Structure 1
């Protein structure tokens, strides 16, 4: 009697695998392969992409090989004409064949390479990575983010129920968003833009407004650090119609404030800072922790940068207050929520504010903390801020100052050291 999954056995043999070699290729015991082939069990959903690759199949083709043999009624060709002399018999046979077609579609629609438990686990992994991203170096997270993202991509190549597919697209979009942040922090803006476009497509497929709004915020960041401040402001505004919950509205308005301040648009910048505070007061439940949320400390750090860019004594004093509040909020919060990048940025803003007031001792005090930070805590944006400060210290007004000369040397030396540890094979 033929094996229940004889086609699976035939495929294994066709690609040159024994049960032992196939088991080794997919990292299971040989007896597990035996149970799959005998029909006593089936590969778990997360195992199917790996098994399909070992058998040189798509996940859909593998799912077809794993099906139980169809019954004689179901094997009636769906398009074959039914010819009988007795009209009544013909109709019975035709109805039976017609129901077989519905049965075939039911099996197709019911087949899935994921289950709710797997989706819950992926959600938990994404939340963990998003939380860790705030306080851990990028180099420690890059491979985990990439591995999980590729796993979700593989699952999406299979077949799921509609609600499962939508959930997977949401997960893929969030993971592409994390990959965008990795590339952004490394200053690889082309790679960041590619990831963000994929994330947007996934958000569209998932129909998730929160993810749409968050992706626009990250795209605004990319434009900002490419010095396209007008585009950065437009992208931040483009995300606001999707900001229907959580802290995302405060994030987008803070990004708009920073971008319009860089453009010299004082009125728009101050209006956006005020609107961000209003949005903060009406925050509902946050979608995800870590990099997906926008804490009050980060909002004050962005406000400090925006106010400082307006370049007037009154606004510089307000910038000092905002940046100082950001540092205080971060340092009084849980260690795992302390964003080293935002803390360094706030201290650099304070250094620039003290420089605007001619307080070189204050500049030295704030800058020393930044220069002493470990290289793997210094993102591309921090390096960019350091270079900008170095350029200001090179202005003729500071010529001949021993303190400024020492600061310039220290900044130059810091900028000559590699910042973040670049993970290998960062996709472009």
Structure 2
């Protein structure tokens, strides 16, 4: 074997695994293990905690095994996780950002006033709404959110072609609204990868396109998503004016939709971040009024998905941030008893683990954090890794317990981008 990672391969053999068995235990191809051992590839961070357990080593010891000198020509291989799936992830990201710039410019151009409709625009107007709803559905149901990226990128290209063609003013407004909805989906993909600047750019473009299309609810949702980026980046003061504007815009929208209630739900999180319990409760109560709306007709399942089903977990997270574990636990356990997406379940589990850390209850910390880590391994979501960072910051007083120390290492190994 020409590998300079011979100790890595030897350790695998000492533990009784063939290359095929080791690959099966890690849910990868045997050829991947071969590339790891000959130095032509490097395991990604989300794979390393499981790998360390299989090899019976600590994460720092695994890093030593993986850092042995590699063959000539491979020294530049990086262990940094990709932004988006695929070996050419940076190029894909640049392509998407380029398409955003092109379509954004086309949205901003004045209407030509001509009434002809081109072929691309006709196709979009006939099938675009249904396709975009399906893309949102795939995004919502996928454990790995980046699975929808190729289809979204292709649709951005179609939108660019459609926007270059002349059409009636009404058709152009509808194309702008479609573009705004698609921009918000792209923003969600970047947000899941913890690419906050890229996500914020998407939401800004979405707000402009929604305004051009004359849709106040779509516009308010783009502003709310932009505010959430600031909130999640721990910049609550920057989120407040965005939400204030979103609330004003939403009041001019369709009163049968849940937009204004979603704005209130995010405002509650901002109030929690700045320590205003009373204002937080008022905003949560306003958000709860969504339940009085007429069921599925109050949201579209795409760029507007707020139906109140998330309120228990959001209430629990707010109370936890406000230092009220007595109020938080009931809400979080109630949320956990509901059907949740993988990301949402991981967020609730992370908050329950934080609650355990607040109480110095190591068993509770380990019980919930282990489950959240399992979901992180399944999804490769940067969102979950970032969420668990909030727990990691509270583990210091408990680090004398070996289980907590192991948790800390495993969380550190999670990807922060997807």
TM-score bin (small chain)? 0.5 to 0.7
Residues 373-393 of structure 1: per-residue CA shift (max 9 Å, x gap): 243625333222212211211
Per the normalisation by structure 1, the TM-score is 0.65
1:414 to 400, 411, 416: 411
Match of 2:214 in 1: 207
Could you tell me how far apart the structure 2 residues matched to 1:263 and 1:283 are?
33
Per the normalisation by structure 2, the TM-score is 0.67
| Contact 1:237–1:253 under 8 Å retained in 2 | no
Q: Secondary structure at the match of 2:393?
A: helix
Q: Give, in whole Å, the separation in 2 of the partners of 1:174 and 1:254.
A: 21
Match of 1:124? 130
Alpha-carbon distance change, 283 to 214 in structure 1, aligned in 2, over 3 angstroms = farther
Corresponding residue SS for 2:300: coil
Contact 2:272 2:318 in 1 (8 A): yes
Cross-structure match for 1:318: 327
Q: Which residue number corresponds to residue 34 of structure 1?
A: none
**2:257 aligned with 1:246, yes or no?**
yes
Residue 308 (structure 2) aligns with: 296
State the Cα distance separating 1:192 from its structure 2 match: 1.0
What CA distance in whole angstroms lies between the structure 2 residues aligned with 1:232 and 1:364? 33
Shift of 1:322: 1.6
- Name the SS for the 1:267 alignment partner: helix
Deviations 1:135-159 (A, max 9, x none): 2112211111121122112211111
> Deviation of residue 179 (structure 1)?
0.6
Which residue in the other structure is 1:81 paired with?
A: none
Within 2, Cα distance between the matches of 1:328 and 1:318?
A: 17
Q: Which deviates the most, 119-128 or 226-235?
A: 226-235
Q: Is the 8 A contact 1:376 1:419 kept in 2?
A: no
> How is 1:116-265 mapped onto 2 (pairs within 5 angstroms)?
118-136=124-142, 137-243=144-250, 244=254, 245-265=256-276
Alignment of 1:86-101 (within 5 A): none
CA distance in 2, matches of 1:201, 1:376: 36
Aligned residue pairs total 301
Distance 1:323 1:184 in 2: 23
Q: Using CA pairs under 8 Å that are at least 6 residues apart, name the structure with larger relative contact order, 1 or 2.
A: 2
Written as runs of structure 1 = structure 2, the 5 A alignment for 1:77-92 is none
Aligned to 1:273: 284
Q: Give the whole-Å Cα distance in 2 for the aligned partners of 1:114 and 1:143.
A: 19
Q: Look at both structures and tell me which one has the larger radius of gyration over its CA atoms.
A: 1
> Where do 5+ consecutive residues of structure 2 fail to align?
1-111
Against the structure 1 CA distance between its residues 155 and 291, is the aligned structure 2 distance closer, same or farther, given a 3 Å change threshold? closer
Are the aligned partners of 1:300 and 1:325 in contact in 2 as well (CA < 8 Å)? yes
CA RMSD of aligned residues (A): 2.3
Structure 2 distance, partners of 1:295, 1:362, is 30
Alpha-carbon distance in 1 for matches of 2:356, 2:215: 43
Runs of at least 4 residues of structure 1 off by over 4 A?
114-117
Residues 290 and 307, structure 2, Cα contact 8 Å, conserved in 1: no
Report how far residue 399 of structure 1 moved: 5.1
Deviations 1:10-47 (A, max 9, x none): xxxxxxxxxxxxxxxxxxxxxxxxxxxxxxxxxxxxxx
